[in-house]
Chains A and B, each alone.
Chain A
Amino acid sequence: DVKVTQSSRYLVKRTGEKVFLECVQDMDHENMFWYRQDPGLGLRLIYFSYDVKMKEKGDIPEGYSVSREKKERFSLILESASTNQTSMYLCASSLVQSNEKLFFGSGTQLSVL
């Protein structure tokens, strides 16, 4: 079975801390994505990557960065966490094919206090 694993289900951090959210997929997918989900706003794309060491900004990249040193791992970095970054973060991956079906991890609920 396809598996996308996010390292933490719940995370609590303090304002100003550097935060790493890790995501690993075991399907040899080329594409990986980070979304955040907020009530009433749906899912919004933060960053995505189509290859190792490659990254592209999504719709809301401000305050975030990413790293993809290996094909299976895609990290989301909050350089200096702020309270407005409290959210559910979802990682996803997909193959490069026409229907671009995404496989999602179970999410990380981040609270910044």
Chain B
Amino acid sequence: RKEVEQDPGPFNVPEGATVAFNCTYSNSASQSFFWYRQDCRKEPKLLMSVYSSGNEDGRFTAQLNRASQYISLLIRDSKLSDSATYLCVVNLNSGYSTLTFGKGTMLLVSP
């Protein structure tokens, strides 16, 4: 099983749509989970951390399902500026600060 796995997409959605991404991870003992955003040829930037109880930041909602070992990202009311690659990131080695990055899911929002 790949350590952090994402659907590469692309997801093509119109403005205003709701879109959801899932990501699975291999280590049930993982403790830290994040979603990063990466624009073309730029550095990854933290979008949000993912907490056990789920969390929301404006139009973005992240959820964690430990039993099934996946995290999700929901984007409501998509904007053109949301077009980017979304990286699922997991601390697979509990107790260490190294993170494992998924290969990313590309989102394209069209007018």
A-B interaction: no
Interface set of A (CB-CB < 8 Å, partner B): none
Interface set of B (CB-CB < 8 Å, partner A): none
